[in-house]
């Protein structure tokens, strides 16, 4: 298989893959250039992790930094008579989908000889980076909002990362990380192009789960949009390789209290407009200025997808409804449930369609928030 040999910024400038770099010279985010995708014959079935799809990556890693991420179950779930599937991503090593991207990103940093790195996160990304940095022998500093769930902070610290809490919003934490990027290599899961190379492998896994058929739609929660972009890239490559004949529609949910992408999507804009948003229990989706806003909006539109802003008062009940079905999803993940109902009411989902909803993280890491929601209930 031919592999691409460059990264590319928004202006079209190319950069080599082996250069430690987190953004373009123009300040824009980087993507890996187009890849040809793989077919079922390229899957290494001897590997019981997402690295079974390693042939889809832009370069070969002889010693990947892996903790066994991927191969999460695909479970049936009925919502008001609509039969669909869910992927509970808390079966990953640090209990969120972030491990998919972190594994590939950290493999690239390790190969490039990066000794120390900086990350900003509202929780799951930070704990994932802390674990994989420990596995790679890379020193990690995690900046997190002071409102981050204590369990996520504790997990990062136990893995050996230095965690610093930043006052203010999630955006304030991201801004502080960028400010410090001149001191320590910034390997943000929202910026680094190889993170998306990991999240794209979820598309390959869903394809294999469904006996090598693409679903008609995938429903996901969204903050910065790395999962949206990963699915867009992965299914796009499957189309390019001829493994499937169409992309699934991307149906994307944000909490109404912080829904900049929904606002831009509904207004027909190509990028997010700065605005003040209110704190939400869906902390993992509370990103006021997504770095890759243009790319996320373009991906949803390219798939003929749709977006939904989930009311705050619907999030807690959704988490408890899923828990009542045995699925202990954190509030950020739980927004997919009311979003599914919204998409059905709007005619975006229909009975008989093959639909996969992604539950990105576990409520075990949001114990304090779940406790408060339980008391309010």
Taking residues 92-99, what's their average pLDDT?
97
Residue-averaged pLDDT of the chain:
95
* Residue 364 DSSP class: G
Taking residues 209-229, what's their average pLDDT?
97
- 116-120/139-145 β-pairing: parallel
Cβ neighbours of 71 (radius 10 Å): 16
Contact predicate 286/280, CB 8 Å: yes
pLDDT tens per residue across span 230-251: 999 999 999 999 999 999 999 9
Q: Look at residue 250 in the predicted model and tell me its pLDDT.
A: 98
Q: Look at residue 151 in the predicted model and tell me its pLDDT.
A: 82
Q: Distance between CA 34 and CA 240 in Å, rounded? A: 10
pLDDT tens per residue across span 71-91: 999 999 999 999 999 999 999
321: part of which helix (H) or strand (E)?
helix 312-323
Residue 46 in this model has a pLDDT that exceeds 90: yes
| pTM of the complete model beyond 0.85 | yes
Q: What percentage of residues in the chain have a pLDDT greater than 70?
A: 99
């Amino acid at each position: 298989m031919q592999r691409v040999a460059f990264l590319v910024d928004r202006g079209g400038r190319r950069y080599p893959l082996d250069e430690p770099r987190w953004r373009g010279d123009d300040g824009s985010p980087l993507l890996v250039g187009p890849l040809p995708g793989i077919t079922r014959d390229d899957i290494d079935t001897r590997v019981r992790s997402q690295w079974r799809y390693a042939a889809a990556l832009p370069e070969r890693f002889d010693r990947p930094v892996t903790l066994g991420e991927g191969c999460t179950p695909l479970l049936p779930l009925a919502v008001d008579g609509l039969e669909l599937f869910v992927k509970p991503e808390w079966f990953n090593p640090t209990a969120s989908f972030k491990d998919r991207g972190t594994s590939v990103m950290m493999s690239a940093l390790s190969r490039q000889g990066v000794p120390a790195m900086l990350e900003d996160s509202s929780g799951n990304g930070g704990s994932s980076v802390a674990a994989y940095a420990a596995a790679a022998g890379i020193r990690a500093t995690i900046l997190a909002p002071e409102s981050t769930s204590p369990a996520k902070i504790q997990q990062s610290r136990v893995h050996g990362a230095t965690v610093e809490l930043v006052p203010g919003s999630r955006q304030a934490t991201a801004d502080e990380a960028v400010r410090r990027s001149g001191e320590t290599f910034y390997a943000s899961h929202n910026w680094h192009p190889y993170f998306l190379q990991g999240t794209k492998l979820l598309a390959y896994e869903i394809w294999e789960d469904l006996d090598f058929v693409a679903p008609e739609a995938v429903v996901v929660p969204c903050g910065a949009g790395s999962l949206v972009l990963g699915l867009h890239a992965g299914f796009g490559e499957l189309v390019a390789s001829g493994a499937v004949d169409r992309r699934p529609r991307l149906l994307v949910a944000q909490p109404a209290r912080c829904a900049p992408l929904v606002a831009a999507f509904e207004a027909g804009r190509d990028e997010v407009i700065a605005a003040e948003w209110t704190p939400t229990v869906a902390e993992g989706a509370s990103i006021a200025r997504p770095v890759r806003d243009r790319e996320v909006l373009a991906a949803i539109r390219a798939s003929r997808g749709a977006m939904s802003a989930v009311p705050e008062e619907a999030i807690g009940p959704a988490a408890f409804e899923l828990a009542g079905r045995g699925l202990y999803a954190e509030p950020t993940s739980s927004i997919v449930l009311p979003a599914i109902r919204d998409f059905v009411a709007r005619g975006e989902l229909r009975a008989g369609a093959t639909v996969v909803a992604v539950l990105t993280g576990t409520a075990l890491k949001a114990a304090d928030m779940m406790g408060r929601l339980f008391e309010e209930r």
